[in-house]
């Protein structure tokens, strides 16, 4: 995930959004409290669901980055509560609520980026803040509470089975440390009447203990060997009946695991079943959440039928006891899906659950309410809003996200750069993305950049006619790293040099950087009239004040690691203050690029995902996480506080009113950040 965020930050910067949006936060007091308001898009991946036994309408949702959401109405609406543990790569695998206290929650996690992360965590305030509750460093894949003894918790990890008899204050291993079979746990279940009877499923086969973990017996008679047991269910009405889901199918035992029979009716090809659940008050109704949709049995597993589309990947299921017929699904890509008729029909219930992985954003320069977002893990990866995030709709077809390098908001529409080279634009009349941009011959390009004579015309023979251009042109296939837009010209920083267009991107010609026409260019900025240019090239910074006829060369300090991108900084003299991101942090020049210093006071000395410059205000999102703001032109920085303060933000901007920072999260969608002291609160009104 970390590498994906870094690649996203390098490859998909939406150049114009930072020039279009204005941030005037200079009056912001240092003590201001921040308010984060989600702009969507709604939905995302769900990893775990849990419920409050005392109030079944209170549901909880866990994600793959440690976030916990809560719902007070049985899954219809959601609110971000907090993060389980300190890490941003924590996958929440289980959520439990103490039946004696609705404010006490337990959560199990494992970490994607480190084998030594994970553990069990406890919250005493309904999921808003968390502290460790043992098994630190363990990859906890399952956590259950004994129905007949709420003090007893049992956890399954990659190293074995652990139990606590004091609400997680202390833990003991209850499987032999040297037993290679009783490791790599996927599932745990406890007999509802007897807390000493335990069932566990490993990456291989199931096991049982009748004495609280002192001794263990393999229980796989009738089960295909090498079955990964992902879920185990003990029937509430008959504790001898056990259900187990495995990579080889779903099994049922009627003798406490002594023997198993494979349940027919659910094809096992390409299917995994993360969860099996029994309906409250209906012991014969069983739901199986699989990687090919939801299946339902109304006769104790004898027969099954598929009740959702087979493309749904279901990770969690909840059946609120006080809502007969309600089925709440936690899915990949679709977010939360809810049924009120026992699974016959479903509707999306993602209001407040905004957990999309946003890796590119662009804003319409004419209307800040129009936003284009590119998402990962989404059924509709390219979405647009016309109302500042209140509603979103797919924008396409024609553009595949796997081929997308960057998106840009030109003065007359959306553009996209492709990883394989070339450009596409969104054609509004046909509502589709189409290839765009023709590249002229090199000689014509050089002539196009020739100096003007005193009468304002190009030198004789310099301008190429439309017919000559068409005869010598071909489809633009250079890799475009960045785009900039002035009143008269558009510019493209490409893998084979700097290009410009005078007809809104229809035709492009080369603009040589002195004697180096093909020098790769990573970033370009242009003045409003297009005469002043600031370019980040493979060999350093290159500036021009005469539309590219002559160039001056500059560079960052050697310890910068090399420039990646440059923006015009605050100050009345355009181009005197410059801000550049580099491999080793953010650098500022106040003399037109002659000298530079690192922006370090209060800002981590680390590469940045993105940064913005607007007036005296600068904002940056370092790759180590967090969002930082400077209101004094980059002299000092402070971290923006709030629920999402530790997140990663590949793209940041600011609203047109000049009061709110906009942050595109790598996991949580797009947010507007306002301030509770009155600065910018109008922009946060619902």
For the segment 553-568, what is each residue's pLDDT rounded down to a tens digit? 998 998 888 899 998 8
Question: What pLDDT, on the 0 to 100 scale, is given for residue 457?
Answer: 44
pLDDT of residue 570: 62
Closest CA to 136 of 103, 105, 162: 162
Evaluate if residue 10 carries a pLDDT over 50.
Answer: no
Q: What is the dihedral of CA 673, 674, 675, 676, to 10 degrees?
A: -110
How many other CB atoms are found less than 10 A from the CB of residue 451?
Answer: 11
What pLDDT sits at residue 625? 85
What CA–CA distance (Å, rounded) separates 97 from 69?
A: 14
Q: What is the pLDDT of residue 571?
A: 59
Task: Over range 264-273, report the average pLDDT.
Answer: 67
Supply 572's token pair. Answer: 């009345």
Q: What is the pLDDT of residue 370?
A: 83
For residue 342, pLDDT over 70 is answered with: yes
Angle at Cα 620 formed by Cα 617 and Cα 623, nearest 5°? Answer: 175
Asked whether residue 682 carries a pLDDT value surpassing 50, the answer given is no
Q: What percent of the chain has pLDDT over 90?
A: 53
Higher per-residue pLDDT: 214 or 449:
214
pLDDT band at 569 (very low <50, low <70, confident <90, very high): confident
Return the pLDDT at 5.
36
pLDDT at 31 > cutoff 70: no
Return the bridge partners of 60, or none.
50, 70
Judge whether 253 and 241 are in contact, CB under 8 Å.
yes
Please tell me the predicted confidence (pLDDT) of residue 12: 35
**pLDDT computed for residue 486 by the predictor:** 93
The Cα diameter of the chain in Å comes to 98
Q: How confident is the model at residue 659, as a pLDDT?
A: 54
302: Cβ contacts below 8 Å, ≥ 6 apart: 263
Q: What is the pLDDT of residues 385-405, one digit of tens each?
A: 888 888 999 988 888 877 889
Mean of the per-residue pLDDT values of the chain: 84
Domains, the chain, with CATH or none:
2-37+356-452+462-684 (2.130.10.10), 61-352 (2.130.10.10)
pLDDT of 446 strictly over 60 = no
Q: How far apart are the first and last CA of the chain?
A: 33
For residues 131-154, give the mean pLDDT.
Answer: 93
Across the range 472-484, mean pLDDT stands at 90
Q: Predicted confidence band at 148 (pLDDT cuts at 50, 70, 90)? A: very high
Say whether pLDDT at 343 is over 90: yes
| pLDDT surpasses 90 at 348 | yes
Contacts of 587 (CB under 8 A, 6+ apart): 556, 557, 560, 563, 579, 580, 581, 596, 597, 598, 599
b vs e for 358-382, b when ≥16 Cβ sit within 10 Å of the residue's Cβ? bbbbbbbbeebebbbbbbbebeebb
Rounded Cα distance between 28 and 638, Å, is: 11
**pLDDT reading at 298 higher than 50:** yes
**Strands (DSSP E) along 12-118, which ranges?**
34-40, 43-44, 48-52, 55-62, 67-71, 79-83, 90-97, 105-111
Q: What is the pLDDT of residue 467?
A: 55
Phi, psi of 317 (to 5 degrees): -140, 140
Question: Residue 470's pLDDT band (boundaries 50, 70, 90)?
Answer: low
Q: Which two tokens stand for residue 344?
A: 């016959």
Half-sphere exposure of 78 (CA within 13 A, CB side): 31
Give the model confidence (pLDDT) of 33-65 as tens digits: 467 788 888 999 999 999 999 999 999 999 998
Backbone angles phi, psi at 471, to 5 degrees: -70, -30
Q: Look at residue 89 and tell me whether its pLDDT is greater than 80.
A: yes
- Residue 515 or residue 210, greater confidence: 210
Over residues 74-88, the pLDDT tens digits come to 999 999 999 998 888
In angstroms, the CA 46 to CA 91 distance is 10
**Residue 609's pLDDT is what?**
87
Per-residue pLDDT band at 619 (split at 50, 70, 90): confident
Burial (CB count <10 Å: 0-12, 13-18, 19+), residue 503 = exposed
- Band of pLDDT at residue 604, cut at 50, 70 and 90: confident
Torsion of Cα atoms, 563 then 569 then 575 then 579, to 10°: -10
Q: What is the pLDDT of residue 265?
A: 67
pLDDT of res. 612? 81
Question: Mean per-residue pLDDT for 403-430?
Answer: 92
Confidence of residue 11 (pLDDT cuts 50, 70, 90): very low
- Report how far Cα 328 is from the mean position of its chain's Cα atoms: 23
> What is the separation of C-alpha 309 from the centre of its chain, rounded to a whole number of angstroms?
25
Mean pLDDT of 644-664: 70
**Spatial contact of 555 and 580, defined as CB atoms under 8 Å apart:** no
**Would you place residue 599 in the very low, low, confident or very high pLDDT band (cuts 50, 70, 90)?**
confident
The string of pLDDT tens digits covering residues 511-520 is 999 888 899 9
More confident residue, 604 or 458: 604
Please answer whether residues 244 and 263 qualify as being in contact, where contact means their C-beta atoms are separated by less than 8 angstroms. Answer: no
Question: Which pLDDT score is estimated for 404?
Answer: 87
- Please work out, in degrees rounded to the nearest 5, the angle formed at the alpha carbon of residue 575 by the alpha carbons of 571 and 581: 95
pLDDT given at position 455: 43
Cα–Cα distance for residue pair 144/234, rounded to 1 Å:
12
pLDDT at 574 over 80: no
Place of tokens 């037993």: 179
Pairing mode, strands 43-44 and 354-355:
parallel
The CA dihedral of 470, 475, 478, 482, to the nearest 10 degrees, is 80
CB of 186 within 8 A of CB of 142? Answer: yes
- Comparing 114-123, 212-221, 524-533, 568-577, the range with the smallest average pLDDT is 568-577
- Count the residues in the chain: 686
Interatomic CA distance for residues 328 and 656, integer angstroms = 39
Helix then strand count (H, E) for the chain reads 4, 60
Of all residues in the chain, the percent with pLDDT exceeding 70 is 84
Best CA proximity match to 169, nearest among 151, 143, 193: 151
Looking at per-residue confidence, does 13 or 70 come out higher?
70
Residue 270: DSSP 8-state: T
- The span from the CA of 112 to the CA of 347, in Å, is 31
At 481, is the pLDDT very low, low, confident or very high (cuts 50, 70, 90)? very high
Q: Does the pLDDT value for residue 469 go beyond 60?
A: no
Identify the H or E element spanning 6: helix 2-11
Q: Give the pTM.
A: 0.79
42, β-bridge pairs: none
Do 22 and 656 contact (CB within 8 A), yes or no?
yes
């Amino acid at each position: 995930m970390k590498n994906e965020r870094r690649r996203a930050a390098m490859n998909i910067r939406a150049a114009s959004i930072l020039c279009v949006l204005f941030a005037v936060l200079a009056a912001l007091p240092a003590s201001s409290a921040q308010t984060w308001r989600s702009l969507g898009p709604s939905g995302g991946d769900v990893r775990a669901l849990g419920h409050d036994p005392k109030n079944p309408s209170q549901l909880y949702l866990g994600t793959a980055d440690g976030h916990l959401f809560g719902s007070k109405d049985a899954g219809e609406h959601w609110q971000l509560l907090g993060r389980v543990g300190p890490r941003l790569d924590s996958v929440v695998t289980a959520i439990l609520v103490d039946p004696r206290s609705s404010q006490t929650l337990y959560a199990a996690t494992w970490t994607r980026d480190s084998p030594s992360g994970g553990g069990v965590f406890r919250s005493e305030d309904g999921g808003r803040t968390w502290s460790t509750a043992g098994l630190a460093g363990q990859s906890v894949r399952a956590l259950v509470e004994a129905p007949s003894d709420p003090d007893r918790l049992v956890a399954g990890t990659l190293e074995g089975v652990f139990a606590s008899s004091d609400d997680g204050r202390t833990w003991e291993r209850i499987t032999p440390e040297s037993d290679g079979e009783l490791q790599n746990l996927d599932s745990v279940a406890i007999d509802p009447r007897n807390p000493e009877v335990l069932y566990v499923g490993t990456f291989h086969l199931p096991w049982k203990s009748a004495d609280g973990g002192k001794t263990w017996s393999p229980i796989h008679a009738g089960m295909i060997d090498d079955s990964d047991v992902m879920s185990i269910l003990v029937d509430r009405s008959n504790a001898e009946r056990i259900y187990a889901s495995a990579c080889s199918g779903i099994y049922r035992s009627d003798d406490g695991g002594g023997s198993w029979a494979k349940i027919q009716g659910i094809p096992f090809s390409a299917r995994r079943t993360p969860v099996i659940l029994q309906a409250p008050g209906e012991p014969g109704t069983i739901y199986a959440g699989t990687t090919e949709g939801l299946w339902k049995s109304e006769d104790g597993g004898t027969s099954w039928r598929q009740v959702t589309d087979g493309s749904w990947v279901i990770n969690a299921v909840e059946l609120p006891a006080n809502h007969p017929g309600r089925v709440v699904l936690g899915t990949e890509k679709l977010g939360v899906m809810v049924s009120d008729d026992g699974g016959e029909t479903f509707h999306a219930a993602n209001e407040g659950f905004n957990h999309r992985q946003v890796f590119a954003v662009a804003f319409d320069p004419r209307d800040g309410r129009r936003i284009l977002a590119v998402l990962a893990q989404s059924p509709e990866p390219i979405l647009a809003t016309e109302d500042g995030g209140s509603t979103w709709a797919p924008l396409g077809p024609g553009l595949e996200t796997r081929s997308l390098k960057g998106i840009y908001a030109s003065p007359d529409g959306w553009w996209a750069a492709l990883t394989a080279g070339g450009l596409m634009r969104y054609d509004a009349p046909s509502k589709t993305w189409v290839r765009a941009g023709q590249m002229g011959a090199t000689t014509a390009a050089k002539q196009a950049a020739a100096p003007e004579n005193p009468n304002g015309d190009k030198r004789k023979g310099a301008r190429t006619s439309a017919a000559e251009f068409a005869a010598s042109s071909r489809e633009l296939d250079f890799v475009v790293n960045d785009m900039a837009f002035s009143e008269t010209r558009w510019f493209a920083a490409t893998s084979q040099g700097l290009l410009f267009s005078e007809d809104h991107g229809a035709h492009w010609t080369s603009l040589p950087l002195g004697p180096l026409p093909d020098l790769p260019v990573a970033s370009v900025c242009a003045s409003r009239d297009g005469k002043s240019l600031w370019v980040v090239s493979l060999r350093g910074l290159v500036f021009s004040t005469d539309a590219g006829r002559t160039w001056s060369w500059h560079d960052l300090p050697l310890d910068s690691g090399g420039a990646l991108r440059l923006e015009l900084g605050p100050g009345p003299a355009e181009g005197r203050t410059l801000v550049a991101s580099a491999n080793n942090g953010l650098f500022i020049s106040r003399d037109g690029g002659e000298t530079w210093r690192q922006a370090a006071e209060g800002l981590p000395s680390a590469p940045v995902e993105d940064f913005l410059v607007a007036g005296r205000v600068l904002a940056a999102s370092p790759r180590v996480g967090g969002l930082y703001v400077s209101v004094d032109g980059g002299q000092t920085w402070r971290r923006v506080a709030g629920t999402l303060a530790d997140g990663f933000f590949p793209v940041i901007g600011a609203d047109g009113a000049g009061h709110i920072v906009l942050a595109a999260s790598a996991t949580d969608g797009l947010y507007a950040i306002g301030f509770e002291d009155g600065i910018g609160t109008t922009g946060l009104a619902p």
